[in-house]
Structure 1
Amino acid sequence: MKFRRKGIFLLLIFSILLGFASPDSSPPNVVSEWLSVKPRHSNLLKDALTDGTSNGEPSELWSPLPDQGWRPCGENMRPVKPTNSSGYLQVFLDGGLNQQRMGICDAVAVAKILNATLVIPLLEVNPVWKDSSSFEEIFDVDHFIDVLKDDINIVKELPFEYAWSTREFYATAIRETRIKTAPVHASDHWYTENVLPILQSYGIAAISPFSHRLAFDNMPEDIQRLRCKVNFQALTFVPHIRALGDALVNRLRYPYSRSEPEHGLLHQFTYKKPEPKKFVVLHLRFDKDMAAHSACDFGGGKAEKLALARYRQMMWQGRVLNSQFTDEELRSQGRCPMTPEEVGLLLAALGFDNSTRLYLASHKVYGGKARLETLRRLFPLMEDKKSLASPEERAQIKGKASLLAAVDYYVSMHSDIFISASPGNMHNALVGHRTFESLKTIRPNMGLLGQLFLDKNMSWVDFRQAVVEGHHYRHGQLRIRKPKQSIYTYPAPDCMCRA
């Protein structure tokens, strides 16, 4: 009995330690969903590991995009700043960093449509990431105002007579100055008919919620160009984010420079700076929220399925459309985000090998180190913010999801190649921004990959051939925006002109 009690005590201590080791605050009984993580594609992985050490990378992988005949549009139209403002416009933006970024662009456009003075947008606390970062903590406010000074009036805060217009004021009752009914993808006419009268009557209007509340189609050309100007010129990160981003990029380009020994004056004349290395940024959004909402099977066994089902019930009362379908149905339709293992196999099949420098842009990985183990075996030179930056450098962004995402966004924009493991706001924002700058971006063919990963008997040779052929025209070639598509993902022809 004594030994039995001791064994139970040790098991309890072990469970508690495992619980503390997990990156989220889940109770210890959820740890079992992590312990069952194991490779799902062992046959492909075995050959990929061998292939990645014996063959060099194809040279065309790193070649820049050919000139496609499109450039960012010049300033052919002189902006006309309104002389008499119709009132103050407030917007309350929810979502993560990149959803808020698009909302900021739309807010400037709406202020222009209404001839209003824009108050620096208020960012809501994200319910998933629990981040309370303000606009001023993420973006360079003075730069934002300066770039747009000839387009609209912008103020950092409301004057004293309107200081009552706050989140708290609108949370307590229905207010005549708050617009809650702005439809998704509203037209410019909707704003002039429904919001302008409120501005003229009260001198202020607050729109909440606001995300995705401005249409992409049938907009005046000057409004579209203004949205582009905000996204690609006015929105820059605060100096300490840019400084940390530059440091990370430099360490990826020159991985050995930090450890180079100094040998006095002679060294200064004889030391030659090494050639810069190329690197890939992998945006790996594989958090528990995404995994649960996708309703796919990620290979974690019964414990993981139960844990994700409980999470779906807790977050969305089980109302997740995908949960009606089987994993095979979801994968065959390309609706399952790739696991770190699967995106590693994709990169290996495209020709990247174990000498590839990989930067992992990710806030939190569901499954922790166990989930990343296979990806790291394929790409041992994988880095992230924690491995590249010191604790002191990370202190200003620690615990701030939006600032962490901002650093990843900055590094992604300075990489040779960007690839995202799953569609989403970060993916869409960077695809559009890199298209605008003519930078190489690999877009995974999710439908094809879903079907390939379902075939457990496929050989590595056949898998690699299918991947290469299926991604031949998915390396960042410019695509013209279609109706209803976002100008922030497809900047041509609204933000770009033929050369």
Structure 2
Amino acid sequence: MGVDLRQVVAGILTITMFVMLGDMLKRDYIDNPEERFPGEARDVGFDSGNVMEKFSMKTNGPWMEESEALTPCWKKKADFDEIEDYKGFVTFSLTNGPEYHVSQISDAVVIARYLQATLVLPDIRGDRPGDERKFEDIYDVGKFINGLDGVVKVVRELPDSVSIRDFEVVRVPNRVSEAYIAEKIEPVFRSKGNIRVASYFPSVNMRKTPQKDGSDTLACLAMFDTLELKPEVNEVVDDMVARLKTLSHNSGGRFIAVDLRVDMLEKKGCNGGASATKSCYNAHEIALFLRKVGFGSGTVIYLTQSRWDESLDVLKDIFPKTYTKVSHHCLSSSYNTNRVDNIKMAGHPTS
């Protein structure tokens, strides 16, 4: 059984919408909080303070305005010093779902560049043993290799003379720093000659951003200029976005993506720990937050939660147009399902 391509597609869709929503909040395009739903609504406390006190007084509603195009956060590839002598290999896998893939690629690229090692094209693995796909089943290999050309050498597979059994597995915290590589990873690489990188994420919300170092622009390049869906999968994503825009025609085709997974709410990282800082928010709290900042009942909301859970009912009560990855009226049309299944079969004819 292979990795569920529908979850990969939906995850990529979610990442795109996170950027949209994050940009909206960052630019403070928030309407007057007094213009909100009638009815009782309590304040919800967040790390940055009471949400009602943090929004600028605008008159155009809570949606983001047209803004300037984002500029690249990395320098030109020509500005990276060329590596003349590559020694050893770095391998890794993409795991945990597509929302983690860009971070895993970024870590592997930064490590390979620092060690002057050759990076091997990753595979994609699901949660269960045997859930495995090739990189090219979902992503554009040419874009990945060309995006790193002149920065890190990439090969599709290990040469026959190198055995994966000889690789030392190195667990690496996400957003790895040069200091960490020098202290923890480089000695292992110099000793073994080859390593397999396994990124882990220290908490549900990831860590606070560390101090900048020389790898920042490289990490940015790896995250935002290497990974693209293959054309067939990208067409499915475009169709999904079109369906969401159709559902949100009353708001000009704009909609909200919320990274809400009920199973994560029960994990230790969501409990705050000794700091008592709240890291995760349930459907009820999210509904109140969106209501507070001015979103109306007709707002279309897309959730990363795979299947409907009864705890989401409160969100749908306030925002009836709330959908998950497999919502019949939103993302799982028979047409798109058949297209995804056809792509899956093309990658794994025996599955």
Letter of the structure 2 residue corresponding to residue 360 of structure 1: L
Amino acid in the other structure paired with 2:98 = L
**1:178 is the counterpart of 2:168:** yes
Compute the displacement of 1:78 (Å).
2.4
Q: What residue number does 1:107 align with?
A: 108
Find out whether 1:231 has 2:212 as its counterpart: no
Aligned mate of 1:337, from 277, 281, 292 = 281
**Alignment match of 1:277 (pick from 242, 252, 258):** 252
Q: Which moved more, 1:108-117 or 1:277-286?
A: 277-286
Which residues of 2 match residues 262-273 of structure 1 at below 5 A?
A: none
Residue number in structure 1 paired with 2:307? 364
Partner of 1:209: 198
Distance change >3 Å, CA 255–CA 336, structure 1 → 2: closer
Cα deviation, residue 135, structure 1: 3.1
Secondary structure of 2:301 counterpart: strand
CA contact (8 A) 1:140 1:235 kept: yes
Whole-Å separation in 1 of the counterparts to 2:150 and 2:322: 44
Structure 1 counterpart of 2:292, from 349, 355, 369: 349
TM (normalized to structure 2)? 0.64
The alignment partner of 2:92 has SS state of strand
Report what 1:243 is aligned to.
235
| Partner secondary structure for residue 160 of structure 1 | coil
CA distance in 2, matches of 1:120, 1:184: 19
Choose which of 351, 360, 374 in structure 1 pairs with 2:314: 374
User: CA shift at 1:64, angstroms?
Assistant: 1.7
Structure 1 unmatched ranges of 5 or more: 1-44, 50-56, 170-174, 257-273, 295-319, 399-499
Equivalent positions of 1:370-449 (< 5 A) are 371-385=311-325, 386=327, 387-388=329-330, 389-395=332-338
- Work out the CA distance in 1 between the residues paired with 2:61 and 2:84: 53
Does 2:131 correspond to 1:188?
Answer: no
Once the two structures are TM-superposed, the CA of residue 355 in structure 1 deviates from its matched residue by 2.6
- The letter of the residue matching 2:241 is V
Shift of 1:396: 5.7
Change (3 A) 1:73 1:91: closer
How far 1:159 moved relative to its partner?
1.1
After superposition, the Cα gap between the structure-2 partners of 1:138 and 1:70, relative to the gap in structure 1 and judged at 3 Å, is closer
CA contact (8 A) 1:285 1:363 kept: no
Change beyond 3 A, Cα 1:286–1:197: closer
Contact 2:169 2:197 (8 Å CA) reproduced: yes
Report if aligned partners of 1:93, 1:208 keep a CA contact under 8 Å in 2. no
Aligned pairs for 1:70-219 (under 5 A) are 71-73=71-73, 75=75, 78-92=79-93, 94-126=95-127, 132-162=132-162, 164-165=163-164, 169=165, 177-180=167-170, 187-188=177-178, 191=181, 204-211=193-200, 216-217=210-211, 219=213
Percent of residue pairs bearing the same amino acid type = 22
- Please give the per-residue CA displacement for 1:419-447, whole angstroms capped at 9, x wherever unaligned: xxxxxxxxxxxxxxxxxxxxxxxxxxxxx
In 2: Cα distance, 1:139 partner to 1:110 partner: 21
Query: Structure 1 pair 360/228, CA: closer, same or farther in 2 (3 Å)?
Result: same
SS at match of 2:84: coil
SS of residue in 2 equivalent to 1:161: coil
Considering only aligned residues, what root-mean-square deviation do their CA atoms show, in Å?
4.3
Q: Secondary structure of the equivalent of 1:279? A: coil
CA contact (8 A) 1:99 1:211 kept: no
Letter in 2 for 1:229: L
> How far apart are residue 60 of structure 1 and its match?
3.0
Structure with larger Rg? 1
Task: Check conservation: 2:93, 2:123, Cα contact below 8 A.
Answer: yes
Moved over 6 A (4+): none
Deviations for 1:266-315, whole angstroms, at most 9, x for unmatched residues?
xxxxxxxx99823222324232x323225xxxxxxxxxxxxxxxxxxxxx
Please, what TM-score do these two structures have when normalized by structure 1?
Answer: 0.47
Which one has the bigger helix percentage? 1
Structure 2 unaligned segments of length 5 or more: list them: 1-36, 42-57, 203-208, 342-351
The residue type equivalent to 2:260 in the other structure is: R
Q: Per-residue deviation at 1:178? A: 0.6
Instruction: Return the offset for 1:225.
Output: 1.2
Equivalent position of 1:291 in the other structure: 265
